[in-house]
Amino acid sequence: MPPRSDEFFAQDAVSLAAALIGCELYLDGVGGRIVETEAYRAGDAASHSFRGETLRNRAMFGPIGRAYVYRSYGLHWCLNIVCDGTEPGSAVLLRALEPLAGLDVMVRRRGLDEPRLLCAGPGRLTQALGIDAGHDGLAIDEPPFLFRQVAAPGPLGVGPRIGITKAIDEPWRFGLAGSRYLSRPLRNVFG
């Protein structure tokens, strides 16, 4: 029997980032398997919470298991899951999904029909699922979301986070080894 959601999301950001690989996430029936994540801790210079709570990052300091949604460079939305009740300001960025349901909706939203590219990257993922600022602060395991935990998804890849300029050497990016749906390949495989 999988742990209750509140216990699952109570993990520290790095542990949760690895544990989320293979879990499934849907929004109004559109979604799939999480295949890539990145961890961000409160004391992490690359984290939005590093300088403390603001209007933009308020969800990061709220209850665990909630969505933290923000606009990246004014271009696209990014979805994080708030975690670690002992270290407020921690969250895990969802970088890629393997599409499993609602592909026709994803294709229409993204304007392309290559399944590998529908959710390969944080901006693509949110566009395909229809995530925006209105989802900020919502529970990730309650409607309109559906979240399913899994036991062990298979071998994990690990590496440094990408698309950031601070704390770039932390090996806090995780992915399902061999998945064709990753935003970028991962080299180191374990598990």
User: What are the tokens at 154?
Assistant: 């298979």
Cβ(173)–Cβ(158) below 8 Å: yes
pLDDT higher than 70, residue 171: yes
| CA–CA separation, 122 and 78 (whole Å) | 5
| CA–CA separation, 38 and 159 (whole Å) | 9
User: Measuring CA to CA, which residue among 125, 139, 135, 173 is closest to residue 20?
Assistant: 173
- With bands split at pLDDT 50, 70 and 90, how would you rate the model's confidence at 43? confident
pLDDT tens string 52-101: 666 677 776 779 999 999 887 668 899 999 998 777 788 899 999 999 99
pLDDT higher than 90, residue 179: yes
- With bands split at pLDDT 50, 70 and 90, how would you rate the model's confidence at 190? low
Q: How far apart are the first and last CA of the chain?
A: 21
Q: Would you state the pLDDT for residue 45?
A: 52
Higher per-residue pLDDT: 172 or 49: 172
38-52: burial string, b at 16+ Cβ within 10 Å, e else: bbbbbebebbbbbee
Q: Would you state the pLDDT for residue 90?
A: 84
Residue in the structure block whose two tokens are 């210079």 = 45
In 3-state terms, what secondary structure has residue 116? helix
Is the whole model's pTM more than 0.85, yes or no? yes
Q: Would you state the pLDDT for residue 186?
A: 79
Higher per-residue pLDDT: 153 or 8: 8
Q: Would you state the pLDDT for residue 155?
A: 85
Q: Does 144 sit behind a cis peptide bond, omega within 30 degrees of 0 on the bond before it? A: yes
Higher per-residue pLDDT: 165 or 114: 114
Question: Given its phi and psi angles, is residue 163 left (phi above 0), alpha (psi -120 to 50 degrees) or beta?
Answer: left
pLDDT higher than 90, residue 24: yes
pLDDT tens string 105-146: 999 999 998 999 999 999 999 999 999 999 999 999 999 999
